[in-house]
Every structure is written in structure tokens, then in C-alpha cells.
Structure 1
Amino acid sequence: MLSISDAKSAGGAVSYFSDHLVMEGAINPTEDYYANHGEAGQWFGKGAAELGLTGDVTAEDFGRMLLAIDQNGEKMVVNGGDENRRAGWDLTFSADKSVSSLWASSSPALAAQIKLAHDNAVAKAMSFIQDDGGIAARRGKGGIELENAKMIAAQFSHGTSRSQDPQLHTHNFLMNLAQRQDGSWGAVQSKEFFVRKMAAGALYRVELANQMQQLGFDIERDKRTFQVKGVSEDLQKHWSKRRQQVVAEMNKHGGKSAKSAEAAALSSRSKKEEVDQELLINRWHEEAAYFGLNQEKIAELQAQEKEQKQMPTADQIWSELTQHASTISDHQLKAAIFEQSQGILSADQAQDYLNEFIQDNETVILRDHRGNKRYTSIEMIELERSIIDGAKSRLNESHALPKTSVNIALANVPTISDEQRNMVNHITSNGGLAIVEGMAGTGKSFALGVANEAWKNEGFNIIGTALSGKAAEGLEAGSSIKSQTLHSLLIQLSEDELTKKPAARKLTPKDVIVLDEAGMVGSRQMSLLLAKAEEAGAKVVLVGDSKQLQPIDAGGSFRGLSKALGAASLTDIRRQRQGWHKDAITAFAEGDAGKALTAFKSRNLLQTGKTHDQTISKMVTQWKSDRDQNPNSDSLMLAATRFDVAMINQATRELIKDELTGNKITINNSEFQKNDRVLFTRNSKALNVKNGTLGIVLTTNDNTMAVMIDGDIKRTVVVQLDQYEHVQHGYAVTVHKSQGATVDRAYVLADERMSGQEWSYVAMSRSRDDTHIFCDENLITELEQTMSSSHLKDLSTDYQIEDSDSQTPDMALDAIPEFEVDKPQEQSQSQMEL
């Protein structure tokens, strides 16, 4: 694992590191945190070599480099000598706990070999950062120009955590000083090594895994990392006390990002204890033996038969890479290939394989409008181009309704607005595909209901569909179009792959498919639906908002189709009752969170808490106060993650515990009583509930729970718990589950990672009346930037294919039709590096 700290000032770094350096040829005995039991720090990097900095790191040399002062006392950069200058960053590589456990439990000879394996892996990763352009020096007025440069880093290895558990890791203090190509010196642009963090960390693990294999151990992949096979998980957990402290601190404050992890590590850090090294090693060996990891077991692990693994094919890798994204950045591709190489290749072999993969016939190199490389597969290019080309080919198909039929339907609803009228005319006109782009709360379903009447009067069969059961239910309720999930519709329209049984449902030219929340549908499902409709001559109407939550699967096909074909537009927000609220929603949709948040702050609708628990407490207290004052109105609390949703639900139940009565039952470790709010989390035909249906518990007994379902028409379902147990507390839900919902009041817990532009737009547009925002105090300064950062899904057709001799001629790209390139919006760094 690689973690990168925030930049440190020269003065702060000198103070922090001064006790860990060689003083006149010997380690300062007062502290050995950055000197592994007497092992001195070491210089690393081409820039260090240019200055003659090799071998042990002395306090004098370290201090000069922090201040950017040469051996003659001269400034190496403009602000050299300033103790408050940004001195550098700490890049820390940490071995997997299974490796650290083996290192701590092994004989001195084997422990030294494992330590060397770690050192070699660190060197490979740091060299990658340097050689891949991760060290960029500023040049020119204002330091705007960047060029590849030579790094200076001081490496300090250590083997224990602050809890005195084994933790093999190396701190690489990267100086904010690098040598340009002309020999001059400049400050470092941190973005370049930050965007390579995932790739460098993965390459470190590749080399470490390979070196552990050379020592005789077997390696097994563990999601994005690896473990040494056979090392006790109980022992690893026992030796992860420091990690448990950090997680507890993060949970306390609600943090989830790398930055929060760093803050939690700092705030929960205690002074490192002074422990006799020999006593510590003896303790480790005793603890390891207790968990079954003694010298005999280690020898057994080295002698066991090893599984020979092969790299997956390019097709297999691209299938995984394009599951959730149509294209990936250069850095994402490197990280993905390196992760796949763990336990199979060495670091050098992995980099060779990367180059071969880029040259493979399945790989297509793209360039964005700034010239930056992105990658996709031939399959994804063909798929997404076929979506656009197929849609364009249907523009002139005859699907128009007689004008008189449309006018009659419009006349029956005198409250319809002009833009809703235009929408109805648009989707009932010619063309095999029609698109509606409507902001949240503009009455899309209402207008669809009018079109539904016109279609039915002319003998058309209208099929409503949406990605989720809850959205399909909302479409049907709002438009009277009988609706189902997209998944179930596609199953009905497709031949059974195993039995070759014909499709259960066949489309005809008299069918109209209305796909709601189309902006959340990925390219593969969109392609299949449009192909089935085109084959039968059925019309498709796509309704959605490309500015709302993006598809989980790859591709922003709805946005691409809307740009290519045009769309009816609905912008007159009708859901919110107050003008300022409508303006704020529009600002969130357009990425101007600053303007929107100012409006909320001025009306005391933004509250903060000193801790995450306090923030949640304020949220549920506000919810209860408003509910008690307005018992006939509905409300909903929203959060980004299921973890936060669970915390809010728990806090709410504690606050209203006196209202919860009757028999207590337990479902999936959660307790339910009469008057509890519940959320159904799986579709059920028997109960007529969808994933996302809400209700209130009426009665409970040992095996049943009666629930009154929310809605204009109240109904009660009796849940047989031995047949259906997919329920959880429903006071709060994730924003993803709330898209399409409307309530009187909403309460939003803003999250540091998830609160992007699209998320914020959906969260803030759920209520007719007030929306209250809650945020941890330490996150408030970043809230505006976070809520303005767009996470729009791209299409492979957003980019131009690179015209390069490196692309092999037999890729048959000439067979793929030409397309118009739309310039994509600039992506945030968090979006670029997953």
C-alpha cells in the first residue's frame, strides 16, 4: 500500500524528522522511529545522485534539502532558506500484514531476506514514479510550465507500528526540489505523483509478491492487493491494533477518504513507546506461535506446492475494465494491469506486459481535447458508436400521431405548461427514438401521462420501464403507463442463451417503449434495448436528466444520444414551492454549489457538528422537531453511504424509542417494533413491493410483520419473515435510492467523497419545502468544491482515436463509422484516479 501525506513546511519537517537522522556518523539514540533499530536513512533518486547525496542521510544534508540550500549556502530556488516553504511529502509504502507477520515471526536470516524484498519493491515503485513523469518541476513565470525532473528522496525504513505490532514500511520523504533537464532546480508539482499513486502502489505490491514467491511462499490475490497464502488471519488481525485505532477514529468523525484516514492516524497517534528490540522480537515470536505461525509452519509454507498462474487475456482484462467505465486514463490502465500482475509477474515483467497490452489489437488509444491519453477497447468503441449510429438511422421513421389526437389529449389537461406541451408534441412526432431532458421536479411523468392517452387512442401499446423497480413504480404512478424493470423487460425480449427458448415477448411497430431515468442506464443495456426496438420497428422514448446520478455500469449513452439527436427540454421546476429553492437547485445542477450553499446558509438550513456523531445527532434532532410540528407532512433523511444511513437510523431509533412499542423482532441483526419506519430492499411480486418501498410497522409477532406502505392510497402488507427478510430501518436512505422521490422536507448528510455535482443536485431536489444540509465542521471549507465536482460518465465516442503507427494495421478501425467528437467536461482528480 502507498499513502501520501500532505506537504510539510521546512521548519515543521526539520522538527519532525530531526531525531531520526545520522548525527556525525551515528544514529541519534533519543528516537529511532525513522531508523529501523539502528539502520540509517538512505538517499534515493537521480536528483540526489546529481548532488552527491548517496548512502546515509545526515541531519545536515537533510536540513539543507528541506530548505533548498546547496553546499555553499546558496538558494537553489526562489524561496530557498524559508523555513515556512513547502518542504516535501511523505510517500509511505507498507507491506501487507501477512508479509509483516512473516517478517516478525521468521529467523533472523529469513527476516533479513523479507526486509530486502520489501526494500527492492519500494525501489521499483519509486523508480517508476521518477521514470513515468511523476516528478515534474515548475518553470517560468508563476511556475505554470512543467517538465520532467530528477527526484530527491530520503528513505527511512521501520518495522513496527505505534502499537508495537509488526508493520514493515518505508517512508520516502520526497523533497520539494527537483533538477530540471537543463541542470537548474525547481519546485515540484505534486499532482503528477498523486495521480500515479494507485499505479505506484500496485507496482510495489507486484514486486513484493514476486520476491516473496522467490523466497518460496505462495501468493493469492485479495481483491486489489495480495496475501501470502497460509498466514493466520487471526494473527494478522491481532497484529492490526493500530489499524483498528485509525478505523475507530474515522468512524467517530465519519471520514472515509484517504485524507480522512491520514487525519485519523494523526489524531489517534500516541507517542511511540521505547521497547527493547530483543524483548519485542521474542514477544512477536511467542504471539505468532500461539496463532500457529512458528518456524516449522513457515518452512511448511515455503515447501508447499505452488499454483502456477497466468495473466488473463486482453479480452478478459478489457471486459473487467469496461464494466463500469467506457474509457480509462493512462494512470488507471497502469494501476489495473499492475494489480492483475500480482503473484504472476515481476515489476519489470509487468511494465513489459503493459506495453504489449497497449499494442494489442483489442486496445484503442484515444486523445481528449487537451491531448491527454485515454484507452478503451474495440468492443466498447463499436458498441457505443452503434448506439449513436442506430439512433440516427431511425430519425425519419414514421411514428407520428395524427395532430388531432395529440391536440385532444392536450386539451384534456388545461394545466399543462408550454414546455410540457412541446415535450408531448416532440415524443409523438416522427422518429423511432425521441429524447426528453428534464430537470428534477419539472413534471416529466405528468407530460408522459398526456402522451400516453394520445398513443392509446391511436391503438399503440405503451411499455414503461426503468432501471429500478421503485423508479418503474413511480413512472406508472405518475403517468399511468404500466411499467416494469428494464432487466425484466430485456429478459422477456431475449432468447434464452442456455435453452435457446424463443423470447417470451415480441415487439411490434405498434409498441412504444418509455424508458424513465434513462441517464442511469449503462451503454450495454441501452444498446440491447435499442437494438431490440429497431429490429421490430418499435418506438423508444428516453426520459431522464444527464445531470443527475450517473450509471453504475459503463457509459453515458443517454447524454451522448441527447447531444447527437437533440431532445425536448424541461427546465421549469414545479416541485419546489419557493423561488429561491428553485434557483438553488438550478445552481447545483449547473455545478455552482457556492451560489446554492450561500442561499441555504442565509436561511439557516446548513448546520455543522464538531464530530460526525454530533452532526448526525443534530440531523435527527432537527428531523424529529420538524416532524412533531408538522405531523401530516412527509420527510426523508439522506446520506451517501449505507454506513452513514445505518448510523442515522440507529440514532433516530434511540431518539424516538418511547414511540416504539409492542413485540420486538430481529431481522438481519436489526430490531423492529410497532411504529418503526422500514425500507424494503428487494422486489417482491407476492408483497407488491419494490427495492426502495417505504412503510411503517403496524404490528409484529414472532414470524410476521404488518407494514402500511407509503403512498396516496394506503395499503397493508403482511411480511412472512421466513419467506422475505429484505427489510431495514427506513428513516434514512442513500441518495441513489431516493432519485425520483418527492417529500415535503429532506435532510441531507453531506459526505466528503460522494457529494459531487450530480449527487448534490439529486439530494437537494427531493423536497417540496425545506431541505436541511448537515456537514462535519472539518469538511465545511471543502464542501463547495466537492459539491461542484462533476462525475459525468463519458463515452468512448467523446474522444478522437489516436493516429499513431503504434496502432497495428489489422485493428480494422476503418470498419468503424466516423463520428463527431464532443469535448468532454474536465474530470476531477478524484474521478481520474479510482
Structure 2
Amino acid sequence: MAASLKKLGGGGSSAPGAGNAAEYYEAELRQMDAARREEARTAPADPARAVDDYLAADPSAPLARWWSASDKLASNGAPLHSGQLRAALDGQGLAGRRLVQDTAQGNRVGAWDLTFSAPKSVSALWATADAPTRRAIMEDMAQSASAALRSLYEVGAFQTRTGKGGATHEPAADAMAALFPQATSREGQPQLHVHSVIVNAAMRQNGTTGAIHSPPLYAWKTAAGATFRAELAHRLQLRGLAVERDGQSFAVAGVSRDLCRAWSARRGQIEAEVAGAGAMDGKARRLAKERAAQRTRNRKEALPRDADLERQWSADLAELGLSPEGVWKSAREAARQHQRPDMPAGDAALAEALERQSVIGERALRRMVAEAAQARGGGAAAVTAEVDRLRAGGVLLALGRTQAGEQVYSTRAVLDRERGMILDAAERQGEGSLIRRDAAEGAIAARPSLTEEQRAAVRHVAGAGGVSIVEGVAGSGKSYALGAVVEAAQASGARVVALAPSWNAAHVLAQDTGLPPRTLQGFVQDVEAGRLRFGPAPAGGEPRGVAHLGNRVLLLVDEAGMASSGDVARLLRHARQAGAQVALIGDRAQLRSVEPGNALAAVAASLPVARMEEVRRQAAAWQRQASRAFATGNSPEALAIYDARRRIVWDQGEDGGIGRTVDAWAANRAAHPDASRLLLASTNEAVHRLNAEVRARLIAAGELGADPVTVRTRHTGGPRGEGEVRDMELRAGDRLVIGATLTKAGRDVTAGDLATLRGITRERDPVLTMRVDRTGEEVALRLSELAKGRKVEGEPVPVLQHGFARTIHRSQGATADFAIVHGGTGLDASRAYVAMTRHRRDVVLVADARALTEGLRAEGVRPTREAVRDAFLRSATASRDGSNASDFLRDRAAWLRTGDPFAVSAVQRESRVQGIVRRAAQGVVRLRQAMTKRQRAAQERQQAEEAAPKRQGPREEAQQPMAPGDAWQRVAGIGAKAMAGAVKQQGPRLRQGPSMER
């Protein structure tokens, strides 16, 4: 139900021709006209009713209409007449004048079809409504589409090109679109949607016209779709219906879900075909849906007549035991009992956004506010009002902009948390270390294989203050160096606590250091709950359920780049209060936490950092070279190194590369049966598909048990990362990822543990017998024990999934002999870095070349082998945008000093004065150059006149040549005046600091 945007014309196999599109919509107009005339002809005998129906069916006021932002290119709401759209797609205005320059035949994009779809519950209500209500709902659809287009105009998404070569982009003064509300899918089922055909012609601010610059439309289409749904939900609420949030969309309360599923055959066909195609990332999945839609679609002219459709819909209702009256009665009853959420849409959206990130961009903000507004009412106007309220009320702080120019926001609470975290580290520099120098040197001497970088890292932790940071690229031996730190600290009489953000990383750290594993989050929670305390135990002994750490404590945090900012901030605060020393170990370039911010990056920007850059993990020199390129942010170059060695497989199959990925896994398994290997993908959905394909092959080979048991379990993924419940088949021999921690009654099972299923009983709450990889021990657990107290519809749902494949994110910190990676249509810089540096011996990466090819064609680019390769490699280009709110501040040092995110230091103010003076001086130079040019031209004209023969005619006034001295004096005077005016104008602002939106 998200908005879709497709260009009409401009080439590319997936882009419909503008002429074909015009013919399609012209046919729709003729069909609307005929349908309305037929409706008027068969109207009831009641004269008054007949007149109303005739007026409603009058083709002079069809549902198809023009939308215009400012009534210049078209009259907003005016009826759409035959021939108008065809001319508009050809670049001709409604008044007959040419709106754009002629281009090569077939190369011009005539328009973009921005399609808004209603939730299925709305379509079901429309199909069971009477004629007046149907017309009212269709009018709501058209008005909601208009509101969405208006929102695009207000944020400046309609842009035109100006200047030489169209290099400058500016918001359009007007844009136009043809709206076509439609009620059925190509399967003849109720599916309300509006085609908004945005004509590729806009009016500039100066009154001229030209083509539209389309990238902002693509960037804002999702936000526009959310605004459409918010407006539609509001209009339905005004009609007495209740609306409930349904993921990113909404549903009308009380409408039968069975009916909605029955009338979703079109979506079911597409999803079934895509599901059978294998694992895909977002872009590949979108393209696969488009291919499936083309293959499964029916021709609209092949649809039954309206009367036949009505009979079919009645039969569908009867089969479910429903009636039109009953559908509406249920919706009305649900509305009487419904209560809207209390929290305003803006506050709800902001709270949801900041659960996962420290900043939110303008587009995401408006989209999420619109989604929250669906269940609260108010429509598009409320969305704008809520965004304005957040900004004006000081809740939302406008910080800097991304590299692409998008405004970024955060809150004072987020900034205060970041500032406290940074100060709790930075202000401890100069404190003495718990580690004695001689102990550090002794630990180093005991490990002669330590490199110079590793030795320097050990000395850095031993000689730093209360907080130290060690950064090491993937495979540089960070964990090995930590062993020396632990030995030196213990020799100095300190207690070392090893912490990591996940159990997997904690176990790796424990293996390297010999310390008990603990998760960072659990440690902080124990401290705050009083179960764990700094300082010595009281004289009477430890209270029950309480442990004391002593006075001399070193907290060693590995994989700190993946730790949440909240956990790190709390840890640093408690450590500072207790005088405990903290060492943060990690790599800012690798994957960060799924929670807000990047704590390691924030703290490392203010502290000295020991770096380890020598790669030791990979055996081959060229692989180590690639790893260094990944670590320094040059992932495209690193991938090119692997491609040159034929380690990237360019798959042209229809399954999104899933088959070739598992082929590579199976071949490696057969060739190296005793080696370790990782099967990786970037998304949870791709991991599920890989697991399914691996299991299918193992079942066929007889390697998994013959007696399956199906259970309901919660898997990773789902909306907002909260997991999704799936049916899961279990067989003996299955590889499983356990999602619960069970450490009581002598058990040693932690979340994230991999295990092999030995057997499962057949009962309501079966017993699973598993061998855990980490411990090598066999455990027997009731399935319900893995539920961690979570229930769905009153039943506990265990957290368990197949573990043949895992996400790249979960693999960070792991090492194996081989890695096989499903790359889809591309990996971002961090995922490419992590995925391609897990191996010791070799790695293979499978790219979905078919989806890449179709994506290039859709963009009008010839999909040569080199173009496909470049598109994949470019996806790994590192973003230069920060992930912390403080990354977008103008003066970080002033903020840390004052707490004011808009504070500017004296140096910054001075630089602004210098900037004003510099610009004024540049103005003087330009004026001098202009005067010199004018003087030279005047002298040349005078010489030409003197050399030309005298002509008889009216006497002309002799021009007085300008004396050089006068010209320079005039220029200098203008420059001095400009500089004085600039300084006078900026003086008060310079004393106050920069003026930024708060």
C-alpha cells in the first residue's frame, strides 16, 4: 500500500511509452464517460433522484480531473477531457503552447505515474456500500491524492532545471498532474487506487516552463504515500468510521480480515511468485514484484462487466457468511467502541524514530508523523501542523544537513545524553591508570609475537586515564592484544570485567581473555538494580543476591562500535562515580548498534586513540590489501580487488542469487569438510530464504531427519525489528539459533548460541535435545522455555530459528576459514567491510546481476557488463554523514563546553568576520575587473570611431573618456562601502553567534 512511482516514456524496458500510457488513460476516460451515462440512463424513477444521479454522472464533471499546485498550468480540480493528457505528455500545455524543448524521439520522459492505493479494508467497505457512499469514498480518494501532491509541492519536491545545461535546480512555481481514481484490480476485485500522472513540465519562478528534475519525487514518494493515507483515514473518520494503525498503513476497524484476504488475490499472486524466487534485498524484491505483476496481470479490457463483478462480489460475501449490511454494521459497532491514541502524532513519531537513531531527516520525519496521524485524525493538515509544532515548540532541534542537503533533526535529550557520555570520558584524561608500567611491560615481554601496533595498544591502555580507546581494523589481532592487557591489570591488583554488546561477542572475548562472559547491557542493569556494586564487600559478608567488584576495577568493552549509546553512556557514568577504569575496543568503520547513535565514534572524537591497522587474519597478501581498503572506507576498491580475482559471482538467475549462493556453500562444504564456514546475507528475509534452500538440499540428500515437527516460533525481523512469528519445521540434524538465555539449574545456554538438533518429542510442548556448539554439551529444553515470557494470542512463542545462515550484522566479531556471502543488488560500506573480512582462507560473494540489469534499464541506462559491475561496487561507497546528533553541530567544542548545541566559539565568530571581509574584498576585485573591461571597451570604441571616415548626420554628443585615476577611486569607494555595510549588518549577529533554526 505504499505509493509507487513509475516513469512514462524515456526508454528502458520497464518504462511504458508515453504514447501507450496516454492511450491507456484516454481509454479510461472513455470508460468513465460510458459508465456514467449508463448509470444515468438506468437511474430510478424518482425524478429528484434521477436528476442527482444524472448530475453525478455528467461527463463534464468526471472523477478524472486535473491537479495544479497554483492554477497556472491547469485549473485545479478542472475536469480532464479527451486529448488533453496526450498533448500534455507530448510537452504541450492546455492552452496550446509548448512547455518543454523538443528532444530525440522516444527519449523524453512524458510523465511519472505516482499511484496511491487504499488499504484493502477501505476497498471492502466501498464494494459493500450503496451508490452514494461509493461516490463519496471515491471522492475521498481523489481529494487525498490531491493532498499528497500538495505536500510534495510544499516541501519543494517539484523542481525545475535552470541555468546553463540545467545545472541549477529550484522549486517549481507550478506543476500539474492528471488524477484517475479507479476501483478494481485487474482480477476484478475491489482495489481502490488513484493514478496521479505527473506531467513532465513545470513552471519556473520567472514564469518560463521546462522539464521536471525527478530525483526529489523519488526521494519524497514514500512520505507522499503516508500523507495520502493520513488524509484518507481522516476523511473516513469524519464519515463515522474508526481507523487502527496497521504497520505503516491503517485498517478500518471492524472490517472482516477474512474478506480482506479473499479480495487480495492479486497481491497473493505476486507475493507467491516472489516467494518462489528466492532471497532478495529491497531493490531486487521491488523489481521482482514488478516482473511478477507483469506476468500475472490480466488485461483490464478483459474484465467482466460491472454487473458480473457485482454478482461475483456477492458470491464472495456469501461464501464467507457475510452481507453488505453486515460488513457496515460491524464497522459502525467497532467505531462506537474505538478510542483514539492519546499521544499526539508528532510525539509518537519522534519517540518511535529515536528508538533506532539519534537523528531523523526531514523526509523520515514527515513520513512517520503522517503514519502516526492515520489513527489520530486531522489528515494532511495535521501532519504539517504537528511537524511545525515540534519545531516551534523546541522539542525538535534543527541541526545541520546531510551531504545530500537534507535537514537533520534531533532532541535536546539525545544531545544531553551524548554530551554526558563524552564528558564522562574526556574529563577523566589525566587520571592515573590502574595498570603499573612494569606489569604492562612484563605482559608484553611474555608475548613476543605481539606486533608494534599491539604493543602500543597495550601501553596506551596502561598509560591512559580513566577511559581509553583502542581501534583496530578487522583481523588486526585486537583480541590477542587484550590478553596482555588483562594479564597486566591482574598483575597490578585490578579486577578485570570483560563486556561485549552481545552474547556471541562476549563468548569470543571470554575465549581470548579467559574471563567470564558478560553482556554490557546485563552488566549495567545489574549495577542499576543493586545486584552488582563497586567497592569492597561489607565486613559481614556479601548480602544475598549482591556481588561486589572491589575498588580497583578495569571494565574491558569489546566490539564497542556495536554497543548502544545508552548502554555506553550509563556504563561511563557508573564507572566515573566508582573510579573504575574503562577501555573501549572496536572499529568505527564496522557495523554499529541497531539502537541510536554510535557511541564509540562519539567518544573517540574527543580522546586519544591507539590504532591497529596491520591485517593479520587473511592468509593471502592481496586479501589483506583488500581488508585495508575496506577499513579505510574504500569498499568499492576492495570489492574490485575481489572481482579481479573472480571472487564475485554475477548471477543472472530468477531467484535473486539464492541458488548460486547455496551452490557455493555446498561446493565449499564438499571440498573442505573439516573447515569452518559462514553463510551470510544482509537481510533477515534473505537469511530465511538461504536457510530454506539449504534445508531443502539436505532433506533431499537424507542428511536431516525423516520425521518433521512443525512449531510456531518468533524469528528476527518484522516491523520495527520486533520479530515475526512463523511456522518452523524441525528435523533431527537441523542447525538452530537459540534466542533465549538459560543459565539456571546448571544450564549454560545464552541468546545467539548455535546448536544442532538431536531430537524432538511429539507433544504440545515438545522437548528439544540439542548439542550446543560453544560448550559441546547436550541439553534438553522444553520449547516453552525459549519463549522468554513472550506470548501471542495467549500462547508462549519461543525465540528460535534455523541457523545454517546468519545476517552479516550477527557475524561481526566472528572468524571462519571460509565465508559465502549473498550480496543482492549491493552492500553498504559497513556490511561489505564486515562480510568480506570474516574469513581466513577465502570468500565468495554472489551479486544479483539480473536485478541490477533491470534497475539500470528502469533508469534509462544501457546495462552493459561494466555498468552492472559499477552499480554494484558503488553501493559500497561510504556515507560521510554522521550517525550521532553531535556530528551535525556547527561547533562541537563550544557545545561540549556550554551545553548549548547552537553555541559558537570566538574562533568560529572570527572566521565569520574574516569571511565577510574576504567576500567584500572579492567584490572589490570583481568591480575592478568589470571597470577595467568597460574602460578597455570604451577605448576600443573611441579608437574605432576615430579611424572610421566622418559621416554627415546629426551631431552626436562627444563621450568623455573616464580617467583611469577616477575609475580606481570609484571602485575603491564602492568596495569600502560594501565592506562597511556588510560589517555593520553582521555586527549584532556576530556578537550573538550564528542564527540557526531551533
Residue range with higher mean Cα deviation, 622-631 or 455-464: 622-631
Q: Do structure 1's residue 379 and structure 2's residue 383 form an aligned pair? A: no
CA 1:589/1:76 → structure 2, altered by over 3 Å: closer, same or farther? farther
Deviation of 1:379 (Å): 0.8
Q: Following TM superposition, by how much is the alpha carbon of 1:176 offset from its aligned partner in structure 2, in angstroms?
A: 1.8
The equivalent residue for 1:583 is: 625
Structure 2 Cα separation of the partners of residues 582 and 215 of structure 1: 65
CA contact (8 A) 1:97 1:167 kept: yes
State the alpha-carbon separation in 2 of the partners of residues 56 and 794 from structure 1. Answer: 48
Asked if residue 309 in structure 1 is aligned to residue 340 in structure 2, the reply is yes
Quote how far apart the aligned CAs of 1:503 are.
9.5
User: Distance in 2 between the 1:393 and 1:503 partners?
Assistant: 34
1:276 to 302, 305, 320: 305
SS at match of 2:85: helix
Residue range with higher mean Cα deviation, 226-235 or 11-20? 11-20
Q: Does 1:355 align with 2:388?
A: yes
Q: Distance in 1 between matches of 2:326 and 2:243?
A: 19
1:237 to partner: Cα distance: 0.5
Residue 698 (structure 2) aligned to one of 640, 656, 659: 656
Task: Please tell me whether residue 153 in structure 1 is matched to residue 177 in structure 2.
Answer: yes
Return the alpha-carbon distance in structure 2 between the equivalents of residues 502 and 143 of structure 1: 75
Report the CA distance shift for 1:612/1:802 in structure 2 as closer, same or farther (over 3 A). Answer: farther
Return 5+ residue gaps in structure 1 as ranges: 804-811, 822-834
The percent of aligned pairs where both chains have the same amino acid is 27
2:370 pairs with one of 334, 338, 344: 338
Structure 2: distance between partners of 1:54 and 1:817: 49
Paired residues of 1:107 and 1:295 also in contact (CA < 8 A): no
Read off the aligned partner of 2:850 and give its amino acid letter. N
Match of 1:115 in 2: 138
Q: TM-score, normalised by structure 1?
A: 0.89
Greater CA drift, 278-287 or 723-732:
723-732
C-alpha distance in 1, partners of 2:384/2:748?
54
How far 1:148 sits from its partner (Å)? 1.1
**Alpha-carbon deviation of 1:168?**
0.6
Query: Residue 404 of structure 1 aligns with which residue?
Result: 438
Counterparts in 2 of 1:816 and 1:667: CA distance versus 1, 3 Å: farther
Q: CA deviation at 1:659?
A: 4.7
Aligned pairs (5 A) from 1:743-754: 743-752=816-825
Q: Deviations over 1:150-172 (max 9, x none)?
A: 11211112111111110110011
- Number of the residue aligned with 1:740: 813
2:796 paired with 1:767: no
* In structure 2, distance between residues paired with 1:636 and 1:609: 20
Which residue of 2 is the match for residue 102 of structure 1?
125
Any idea what SS the aligned residue of 1:494 has?
helix
Instruction: Report how far residue 29 of structure 1 moved.
Output: 9.2
Say if 1:614 and 1:338 are closer, same or farther in 2 by CA, change over 3 A. closer
Over 3 Å counting, the alpha-carbon distance change for 1:589 and 1:56 in structure 2 is farther
> What is the deviation of 1:433?
0.6
Query: Is 1:731 aligned to residue 731 of structure 2?
Result: no
Cα distance in 2, alignment partners of residues 736 and 700 from structure 1 = 30
Mapped to 2, the partners of 1:321 and 1:154 lie a distance apart of 34
How far apart are residue 710 of structure 1 and its match?
3.5
Change in Cα spacing, 1:430 to 1:26, as seen in structure 2 (3 Å) is: closer
Please report how far the alpha carbon of residue 345 of structure 1 lies from its aligned counterpart in structure 2 after TM superposition. Answer: 2.8
C-alpha displacement at 1:450, in angstroms?
0.5
| Residues in 2 aligned to 1:15 and 1:650: alpha-carbon distance in whole angstroms | 44
1:20 corresponding residue in structure 2: 24
What is aligned with 2:742?
Answer: 684
**What is the aligned partner in structure 2 of residue 43 from structure 1?**
66
Per the alignment, in what secondary structure is the counterpart of residue 752 of structure 2?
Answer: coil
Q: Deviations over 1:620-677 (max 9, x none)?
A: 2222222222222111211223332232223223323335266745363544455443
Counterpart residue number, 2:4: 4
When residues 504 and 41 of structure 1 are mapped into structure 2, their CA distance, relative to the original with a 3 A threshold, is same
Bigger-Rg structure (1/2): 2
Spell out, residue by residue over 1:724-755, the C-alpha distance to the aligned partner (whole angstroms, 9 max, x if none): 565443221121221111111111111347x2
Which of 757, 764, 773 does residue 710 from structure 1 map onto? Answer: 773
Given the superposition, is the C-alpha separation of residues 55 and 737 from structure 1 closer, same or farther in structure 2, using an over 3 Å criterion? same
For 1:84-483, list aligned pairs within 5 A: 84-149=107-172, 150-253=174-277, 254-257=279-282, 259-260=286-287, 261-272=289-300, 273-291=302-320, 292-299=322-329, 301-302=331-332, 304-305=335-336, 307-309=338-340, 311-312=342-343, 317-346=349-378, 347-368=380-401, 372-399=406-433, 401-483=435-517
Separation (CA, whole Å) in 2 of partners of 1:83 and 1:59? 23
Letter in 1 for 2:888: Y
Give me the whole-angstrom Cα distance separating, in 1, the residues matched to 2:29 and 2:354: 54
817 and 409 in structure 1: CA distance in 2 versus 1, 3 angstrom threshold? farther
Distance 1:234 1:452, change over 3 A: same
Distance 1:133 1:632, change over 3 A: same
Unmatched runs of 5 consecutive residues or more in structure 2: 37-55, 532-542, 712-726, 787-797, 853-867, 893-897, 909-998
User: Structure 1 residue aligned with 2:676, among 624, 634, 642?
Assistant: 634
Q: Greater CA deviation, 439-448 or 725-734? A: 725-734
1:790-829 equivalences under 5 Å are 790=879, 794-800=883-889, 814=900
Amino acid at match of 2:393: D
> Contact conserved, 1:591 with 1:787, CA < 8 A, in 2?
no
- After superposition, the Cα gap between the structure-2 partners of 1:67 and 1:412, relative to the gap in structure 1 and judged at 3 Å, is same
User: CA 1:790 to 1:248, structure 2 compared with 1: closer, same or farther past 3 Å?
Assistant: farther
**Do the aligned residues in 2 keep the contact of 1:746 with 1:770 (CA within 8 Å)?**
yes
Q: Work out whether residues 362 and 409 of structure 2, in 8 Å CA contact, stay in contact via their aligned partners in 1.
A: yes
Alpha carbons 2:358, 2:414 under 8 Å: kept? yes
Residue 57 of structure 1 aligns to a residue whose secondary structure is coil
Q: Secondary structure at the match of 1:176?
A: strand
Show CA shifts across 1:706-727 (max 9, x none). Answer: 544436x854444555645654
Aligned match of 2:579: 537
Secondary structure of the structure 1 residue equivalent to 2:497: strand
Contact 2:176-2:199 at 8 Å conserved across structures: yes
Query: Given the superposition, is the C-alpha separation of residues 369 and 285 from structure 1 closer, same or farther in structure 2, using an over 3 Å criterion?
Result: closer
CA deviation after TM superposition for structure 1 residue 72, in Å: 8.8
Scaled by the length of structure 2, what TM-score is found? 0.75
Equivalent pair of 2:349/2:365 in contact (CA under 8 Å): no
Change (3 A) 1:564 1:100: same
Counterpart code for 1:619? T
Q: Which residue of 1 aligns with 2:86?
A: 63
Distance 1:83 1:221, change over 3 A: same
Q: Is the 8 A contact 2:114 2:198 kept in 1?
A: yes
1:178 match: secondary structure: strand
CA distance in structure 2 between the aligned counterparts of 1:746 and 1:587, rounded to whole angstroms: 18
Partner of 1:824: none
Residue 119 of structure 1 deviates from its aligned partner by 1.5
SS of the residue 1:435 aligns to: strand
Specify the SS of the correspondent of 2:386: helix
Tell me the equivalent position of 1:784: 873
Deviations 1:115-170 (A, max 9, x none): 11112211111111112211011111232211111112111121111111101100
Aligned residue identity for 1:332: A
More displaced, 58-67 or 501-510?
501-510
SS in structure 2 at match of 1:250: helix
Q: Is the 8 A contact 2:281 2:686 kept in 1?
A: no
Contact 2:821 2:844 in 1 (8 A): yes
Q: Distance in 2 between matches of 1:661 and 1:155?
A: 56
Contact 1:758 1:791 in 2 (8 A): no
Query: Which secondary structure state, in structure 1, belongs to the residue aligned with residue 820 of structure 2?
Result: strand
Bigger CA drift: 79-88 or 557-566?
A: 79-88
Which shows bigger deviation, 641-650 or 103-112? 641-650
